[in-house]
Amino acid sequence: MAVTPKVQERVDALRALLHHHAHRYYVLDAPELPDAEYDKLFQELQALEAVQPELLTPDSPTQRVGGQTLDGFAKVRHQVPMLSIRTETDIEASGAQAFDARVRKELGLAEDAPPVEYVAELKFDGLAINLRYENGVLVQAATRGDGEIGEDVTQNIRTIGQIPLRLPKDAPPVLEVRGEVYMGRADFDKLNEIQRAKIDAGAKNEKTFVNPRNAAAGAVRQLDPAIARQRPLSFFAYGWGEVSPADQGGPDFHSHYEALLTLRSWGFPVSARTQIAKGAPELIAFHQAVGKERDDLPFDIDGVVYKVNSFALQRQLGFVTREPRWAVAHKYPAQEQLTRVLGIDVQVGRTGKLTPVARLDPVFVGGTTVSNATLHNLFELRRKGARIGDTVVVRRAGDVIPEVVGVVAAARPAYVPNFRMPRACPVCGSAVVREKGEVNHRCSGGLFCGAQRKQAILHYAQRRALDIEGLGEKLVDQLVEGNAIKVLPDLYRMGLSALAALDRMAEKSAQNVLAALESSKQTTLPRFLYGLGVRHVGEATAKDLARHFGKLDAIMDAGVEQLLEVPDVGPIVAESIHTFFQQPHNREVVEQLRACGVHWEEGEPAARAPQPLAGKTVVLTGTLPTLSREEAKEKLEALGAKVAGSVSKKTDYVVAGAEAGSKLDKAVALGVPVLDEAGLLSLLAS
CA-CA distance, 321 to 86, in Å (whole number)? Answer: 10
CA-CA distance, 457 to 79, in Å (whole number)? Answer: 69
SS3 676: coil
DSSP-assigned beta bridge partners for residue 180? 128, 236
Which residues are designated catalytic? Answer: 123
The DSSP code sequence of 20-50 is HHHIIIIISS--SS-HHHHHHHHHHHHHHHH
CA-CA distance, 86 to 102, in Å (whole number)? Answer: 13
> How distant, in Å, are the alpha carbons of 15, 102, 319 from that of 108?
37, 10, 16
Characterize 483-494 residue by residue with b for buried, 16 or more Cβ atoms within 10 angstroms of its Cβ, and e for exposed: ebbebbbbbbeb
Q: What share of the chain is helix, strand, coil (3-state, %, to 5)?
A: 40, 20, 40
φ, ψ of residue 41 in degrees (nearest 5): -65, -45
Strand (E) or helix (H) holding 581: helix 571-582
CA-CA distance, 251 to 320, in Å (whole number)? Answer: 27
CA-CA distance, 62 to 38, in Å (whole number)? Answer: 12
Characterize 215-234 residue by residue with b for buried, 16 or more Cβ atoms within 10 angstroms of its Cβ, and e for exposed: bbbbbbbbeeeeebbebbbb
β 391-395/368-374 pair status: unpaired
DSSP-assigned beta bridge partners for residue 307? 119, 327
The DSSP code sequence of 202-268 is T-SS----SSHHHHHHHHHT-SSHHHHHTS--EEEEEEEEEE--GGGT-----BHHHHHHHHHHTT-
**How many H helices and E strands in the chain?**
24, 24
CA-CA distance, 274 to 680, in Å (whole number)? Answer: 56
Q: 125: closest CA among 257, 215, 21? A: 215
SS3 of 313-332: the string is HHHHHCEECCEECCEEEEEC
Residues 6+ apart with CB under 8 A from 555: 529, 545, 546, 549, 577, 581
> What phi-psi label fits residue 376: left (phi over 0), alpha (psi between -120 and 50 degrees) or beta?
left
